[in-house]
Chains A and B, each alone.
Chain A
Amino acid sequence: MGCKCGKAAFVLSERSRKMKELLERIRIQFIKELEGVLSQKHLEELRIRYLGKKGELTQVLRGMGGLSSEERPVIGQLANEIRDYINEKIEDTAYRLKRKDLEVRLKDEFIDVTMPSKRKALGNKHPLTKVLDEINQIFIGMGFTIVEGPEIEKAYYNFDALNHSKYHPARDIQDTFYINEEILLRTQTSPMQVRVMEQQKPPIRVLVPGKVYRRDEIDATHSPMFHQIEGLVVDKGITMANLKGTLDVFAKRLYGENTKTRFRPHHFPFTEPSAEMDCTCSACNGRGCRVCKDEGWIEILGSGMVHPNVLRICGIDPEIYTGFAFGMGLDRIALLKYDVDDLRLFFENDKRFLAQF
C-alpha cells in the first residue's frame, strides 16, 4: 500500500491494533461509568482508577515499550488524547458536582431572619451630655473655646464683678446656696466671664458649660442643680448684629435650618443692651401648640452686649473693646429637644429612661 503524502506507509502491528482497541474501550467504559457518578468521592475513585499510577490508562501507556518507533507516537498520541479527554470530563463533573452540593447546602441553611437578634449591651452617654456635645460642637465650629470653672465660687465673681448691686435680690439666702458669706454655689455660669477676662486679653471667644445651683425645690420644671452654658465674645468691633448672627446660626444648627429667631429686649445686670432670644417652636413650627403655649415661640436664652462696667472691672477698656455674652439652660433645651415632660427624669437615672437616647 502506498501513501500519497509521501510518508512511508506502514501497517499497524497486531499488538498495536489491540492497544488501540483497548484505548477505545477504556474511553467508552469511562463514559459509561462517569454517567453513574453522583458524588465527589465517587468521582475521585473514578479518577484514580483511570488516571492513577495503577490506573488502566497508565497500564496501557506502560505497555507502549514494546511498540515500534513508528507505532509509538501514533498510539501515544491516541493515549494522550484519551487521557486529556478523561481529565477534562472529570474536572467538568467535579465542578458540576461541587455546584450541586453548594446549592443543596445553601438551600439547607435557610434561617428565619425575623428571629430575635443577638445584641451586645451598649451603654450610653446621659441625654444632657449628648445635647451638650452637640452645642459645644456648634460653637467650636464658630471659633469658641470650651472652658470650665469652679462650682463653689466666690460671691465676688458670681455677683459683684457681674454688676449686681450689694442688695440684688438674687443674692438672697432664699435663692442662693451659701457656704459662708463670701463663698457660695454659683447660681450661673457667668462668673467664668469674669475669670476668663481677668486671665485672657481679647480676642475672647469662649463657651462655658457647667453645673449651677439655685434654691428651688425640685419639681417638673425646677431643680436645685441644673446646667447652664455661657458664651462670651470680646473683641474690637463686636456689634449687636454679631450677637444676633452668632445665636441665629446656633439656633438653626440646633433646631434645623427653618428655625427662626426673635430677640426681645430684656434686663440682665451684666449686659446692656440685653435681649432674650426666642426660637420658633420646633413642635409646631411656630403655628402655636401645647409646648409653646400657643405662642409659636419658645424662650431659649438670655443675651446681651457685655456691660461696660464688667469690662472695666476685668481690666478691659470698653472704649476699645465691645462684646456679647449669652447664657442658656442646658436642661431646658434638652427637655424641649427630646420632648421630656419632667426635669426630674434627668436626675433619677432610671435605666429605661437613659436607654432611650
Chain B
Amino acid sequence: MSPKSSKANQRKRQPEASKANQRKRQPEASAERPPGAVTSKWEWVTGAVGLVLVLGTVGLIAYDALGRAPSVPEVTIEHIATVRTAGGYVVRFRARNSGSATAAALSISGQLSDSTMTVETSEIVLDYLPAESERQGGLIFRNDPAGYELRLEAKGYVDP
C-alpha cells in the first residue's frame, strides 16, 4: 500500500478498510455523490483556460480567414549590418512579409554595383517566410559592399 492511499484511508476514518474493499465499494459510493462535488476547483479553472484557448483560437483563425481576401506575400528586404569575416563580407538582412500569404522557397538576392555595371551577385533561398513575419539571414560577398551600391531584393517564391 502506498503512503498516499493509507493517508486517504485515515482521512475517511476507515483505517480498517482494506484497499480491496475500498476498490469494490467505490463505484456504488460514487453513485451517491452529487455531481461536481468531487472536482477540484483548479480543474474547473484549467478547464476554463482550455475553453478560452479553444474559443479564442477558433475565433481568431475564423476572423482572419473571413476577413482576408486571397493575397500574395509582400516582401521587403532590409539591410541590417555588414560584417567583415575571413570568408568575405557578410551582409545581414531582415526579410519581412507584410502580406497575408506565406512565401515558400523565397529567393533573395543582393547585388553590388557601381555606376556602370553589376560587380557581384549573391543569392539565398529562404524556406518559409510566413505571413506577417520576419526572418533574418546573411548574404556573403567577396567585395566590400561599402564601396558599391548594395541592392537587396526578393526575386520569387512558391505557394507552400
Do A and B belong to a common assembly? no
User: Which residues of B approach A to under 8 Å, CB–CB?
Assistant: none
